[in-house]
Amino acid sequence: MLRTEGRRPSRPLLDVELVAVPKALQGLRRTVRRYLDEPCADVQLCVTELVTNVIRHVGEGAPIRVRVARPGGNSIRVEVTDPAEHALPVAPPAAPDDETGRGLALLDAVAVRWGVEQAAGKTVRCELEGAGR
């Protein structure tokens, strides 16, 4: 007998191409929520932080591709691809009064793992575990 308790079936990939601008973030978070069909604050946080990093470090208006997948079980994978190979994410230490610079620390806190792949631009990806993440 195949046991599937606590495991979610994989579903097609959410694949969205858009321009990295602040006003796109709200709609993108809503799209991710609909795709996952459950509360997903941590996933939405990761998407928001990764796209915000593109806006700040690559430039507002950069073309990006956001992919979210549930490959099986409770695992959720998020990927954000942009055209800039040179703007690699680095998590600098943030001083207590800094208003920015905590995005990658937040990503590191909620993701099981994250990393960067360089090929025709770069893709920053992270993986989260658990329902409702």
Domain that holds residue 48: 14-128
Beta-bridge partners for 14: 68
The CA R_g of the chain, rounded to the nearest whole Å, is: 15
| Lowest-confidence pick of 10-14, 18-22, 73-77, 82-86 | 10-14
Mean pLDDT, rounded, for 107-133: 85
% of the chain exceeding 70 in pLDDT:
76
Record the pTM.
0.82
Inside any domain, residue 114: yes
Q: How confident is the model at residue 112 (pLDDT cuts 50, 70, 90)?
A: very high
Question: Does residue 116 lie in a domain region?
Answer: yes
Residue 1 lies in a domain: no
The whole-number pLDDT of residue 33 equals 95
- With respect to residue 23, please indicate whether it lies within any of the assigned structural domains: yes
Please report, for the domain that includes residue 63, its CATH number.
3.30.565.10
Residue 9 within a domain:
no
Using the predicted structure, report yes or no on whether residue 85 has a pLDDT greater than 50. yes
The total number of structural domains that make up the chain: 1
